[in-house]
Structure 1
Amino acid sequence: MGVTKRNRDFRDFWLGHTVSAVGTHVTAVALPLLATLVLDAGPTGVAAVATAGYLPNVLLPLLAGHWLERRRRRPVMIGADLLRAAALFAVPTAYMIGVLTVPLLVVIAFVVGALAVVFDIGGFAYVPTLVDESDLPAANRAVQGSTTAAQVAGPGLAGLLTQAAGPALAVVVDAVSYLGSALGVAAARRPEPSPAPATDSGKTGLRLVVTDPYLRALTAHAAIYNGASQILTVNLVVYLINERGLSAGLFGLALSASGAGAFAGTMLALRMAGLLGYGPAFLASLALSTGIPLAIAVLPGSGLALALSLAVVQFVSGIGLGSANVLSVTLRQVIVPQGSLARTNGGYRTLIYGVLPLGSAAGGVLGHGLGSRAGVAIGAAGLAVSTLPILSRRIRRLRSLETVRAGRAVRP
């Protein structure tokens, strides 16, 4: 992580981003836990709170991307963190005065989710202005490493905070984390340049994603992967805990191995790209992240042996996921001109997150009709299928980012 040592501004931003990423995933679990443990909400109420938190990922990326294209991203990100903290502090306040309700949690979850969309899209466009282009892969390695680890560690941390301090106090800790994030982002003092003139001004974020061959392949892969991952996740809990008798504690520990693997993968990504070439390294990463989970439906044993087997699968696939995330994000940032970064990321997120509710619904239907083991197998197969768009000759034979930069330089 040389860039975090050389570039103090990036280091401060990265620390703030890391805290924000953890807070996002803690919130996604802490608010539904609060609904069920404190408000005694049934499945419908809990689902409403959880859905409200993810819904902005479907509705807002395009709007946020176009809005951010004309603005400096750093102050917007700081404001998003402060507003998220304020929204979450409203939860324990409402609890103490006796006015906390499920509808209020739904509103707060939606607001926090919407601000997370703004923060994340802003961060994607901000990083290339904070570091030199030669440092961009290393910067993304740091950012994606903490983001991927937060995706895995956040839910477990939310559970531990809820068990140790109660769900209301867990939300307080989460709110404080966003204040820490705002401080970290604010500490980055490198002047942010004025927004670059928008390129391809007649194109929307979606059209830019669909018309560029690199972006089209990356988006198709991510969308298929996310949908299949939801099918797998919906059925995995039922299959391993209800049908295989795995304890909740061992299940959670086994899943957490993915975070350790993802961190290792982010550290290996650039070395793999240097040894194998950019495209082959990407495909090798996807072989791990999308191929290894095929073993989950046929894991043998029970109890600790089953948990250890699952942990190995999660760790190895996590290595691939961490590496693939670094390579994918960097490739997208190099492909897209500065004046279109926010818009294209908005279009990209609309498509890759828009499939999540479809994947969840499909997972439920498949699990109910064919059984949870079949649902796990189908979800894992879908992950493997997601690699197909990346097998395009353009990406498969990509040796280095210099090839992409040269092509970008001669675009009309």
Structure 2
Amino acid sequence: MPPETVTSRFPRSSPYWPVVSHPLLRRVLPGLAVSALGDGMALIAVTWLALQLAPSGQRGTWTAIAVAAYTLPSAAGTMVFGRYLSGRGGAQLARWDAILRAAALAAIPAAHLVGALSIGLYVAFLAAASLLRSWGSAGRFTLVAELLPERHHLPANAVLGIIGDAATIIGPPLAGILISWVGPVWVIAIDAATFAVLALTYRLAVPAERNTGPTNTATSRTAGFGIIRHNRSLLGLLALAFGFFLLFGPFYVAMPILITEDLHASATTLGLYYTAFGAGSLLGGLATGYLHRWQLWPTTIGIVIGFGVAMLPLGLDTPVGLSLPAFALAGLIWAPYMSTSMALFQRTTTTKRPQALAANSAVTVLAVPLGTMLGGPLTAGIGARQTLLLCAAATIALGVVAAGLALLPHKPSATDDHPPLAGRANERLPDPDVHSDSGAVRR
């Protein structure tokens, strides 16, 4: 039998093999895994240190401010640094984000050593660490698009998601152990060290980009938002993502109240729900790479609808024995969303991809905190279970509306790189076996 007709065996038959065997990506992935583990530990350490530093009676307020400070300034960073970061390659953007986060987080234990760490200074350091967060995310997905042909984008995005999901399962309990030994400030020091490792990985593993400066054309700080605004496909995708994440935000408020007040259960039960969601999400991430032959727009919209359906038992008067596996199913359905939506962004943007990805990240990073803030008055007004039911139903409605828009005929505009959301529901993806750039590496 000729060699080319022999069916590849696992792991070479896996859609992940071209990603993990890529000569550059296989050197970057270990650094990403180390950094993700550090950030998984920071999920606990950031809030725990805020509780220790905050004045008595203001711990809840300062903890919320600290958590927000570690994410929300990235939206401002997208606009503030937009003009200066235009034209940078994916690895360079991701490396600069890692350098800034390593330096800002390292300043926290340094200030602690000299006795100068206050809650205000702590929040300021967290805010500084997050300024390039959107650009770092854009850099990672841009690097994937630069190095791999289009058919491998979805599995590569899934690998990034799997690394993050595994870190959120391993990181928090590991942080709990370390905090009991050395305290939260030194867990944050470890997180800083992991970002230093990541920055060094990008520097050594990926050749220096040729275009290391801004483009010679004038670039607006909001160029990424302009790209999205003038491309109906990207605008529809961003609106779908924002609504999806916004409607998930109230969960963080309603779920603990549902467990304690409605079910009269302990924190252990709440932990079981988190573990179930995390386990389902990890399985969903592992399965995402095998969706590369699926049509991306219907898949992405189907995820939104399916997630809302899986969340319905939480809002209905169902026993834990039913709602717990349903929540695990919700995690499994949730997991592929970021990978499929990023794959759509990667293939729809050809020029100024980092700016568009950074703008997308800046908007979506606001969605969950805004939804969480919305969850407070909602839960107080209609109750925790009703809030969860409302959000689940609204998520289903959001997906149904997106599906309806996808079926409407649309005449592409001159500014669209690809046909927009409308009219793409029946799009057929290129056959991986006959793709024009089969085996090519984009740099």
Which TM-score bucket, shorter chain as reference? 0.7 to 0.9
Change (3 A) 1:360 1:284: closer
Return the alpha-carbon distance in structure 2 between the equivalents of residues 122 and 280 of structure 1: 26
Moved more, 350-359 or 96-105: 350-359
Matched, 1:262 2:281: yes
Matched, 1:365 2:371: no
- Partner residue of 1:185? 202
**Which residue, 57, 62, 66 being the options, matches 1:45?**
62
Matched, 1:341 2:358: no
Return the alpha-carbon distance in structure 1 between the equivalents of residues 340 and 230 of structure 2: 20
- Partner residue of 2:36? 21
Matched, 1:116 2:129: no
Helix, strand or coil for the counterpart of 1:13? helix
| Aligned residue type for 1:246 | A
**Which residue, 226, 230, 235 being the options, matches 2:245?**
226
- Partner residue of 2:339? 326
Cα distance, 1:402 vs structure 2: 7.1
| Aligned residue type for 1:4 | V
**Which residue, 240, 261, 270 being the options, matches 1:251?**
270
Change (3 A) 1:271 1:46: closer
Matched, 1:397 2:410: no
- Partner residue of 1:355? 367
Matched, 1:34 2:49: yes
| Aligned residue type for 1:110 | A
TM (norm. structure 1) is 0.85
Return the alpha-carbon distance in structure 2 between the equivalents of residues 185 and 257 of structure 1: 34
Change (3 A) 1:356 1:262: closer
Cα distance, 1:367 vs structure 2: 0.9
| Aligned residue type for 1:6 | S
Return the alpha-carbon distance in structure 2 between the equivalents of residues 191 and 183 of structure 1: 13
Q: 1:185-216 CA distances to partner (integer Å, 9 max, x unpaired)? A: 23423554537979997883223213323212
- Partner residue of 2:107? 90
**Which residue, 283, 294, 309 being the options, matches 1:291?**
309
Return the alpha-carbon distance in structure 2 between the equivalents of residues 396 and 199 of structure 1: 36
Return the alpha-carbon distance in structure 2 between the equivalents of residues 212 and 25 of structure 1: 35
TM (norm. structure 2) is 0.80
| Aligned residue type for 2:103 | A
Change (3 A) 1:383 1:165: farther
- Equivalent pairs: percent with the same residue? 22
- Alignment RMSD (CA, Å): 3.1
**Which residue, 81, 87, 106 being the options, matches 2:98?**
81
Change (3 A) 1:164 1:228: farther
5 Å-filtered alignment, 1:265-280, equals 265-274=284-293, 276-280=294-298
5 Å-filtered alignment, 1:121-270, equals 121-150=138-167, 154-155=171-172, 157-190=174-207, 192-194=209-211, 204-270=223-289
Structure having the larger proportion of residues in helix: 1
Q: How many residues align?
A: 398
- Partner residue of 1:410? none
Cα distance, 1:26 vs structure 2: 3.7
Q: Which runs of 5+ in 2 are unaligned?
A: 1-15, 408-422, 437-443
Task: Please tell me whether the aligned partners of residues 269 and 281 of structure 1 are also in contact (alpha carbons under 8 angstroms).
Answer: no
Task: Please tell me whether the aligned partners of residues 90 and 354 of structure 2 are also in contact (alpha carbons under 8 angstroms).
Answer: no
Task: Please tell me whether the aligned partners of residues 135 and 358 of structure 2 are also in contact (alpha carbons under 8 angstroms).
Answer: no
Change (3 A) 1:19 1:385: farther
Cα distance, 1:29 vs structure 2: 3.9
Cα distance, 1:34 vs structure 2: 0.4
Cα distance, 1:49 vs structure 2: 1.5
Helix, strand or coil for the counterpart of 2:24? helix
| Aligned residue type for 1:317 | A
Q: Which runs of 5+ in 1 are unaligned?
A: 407-412
Change (3 A) 1:158 1:262: same
Return the alpha-carbon distance in structure 2 between the equivalents of residues 399 and 233 of structure 1: 38
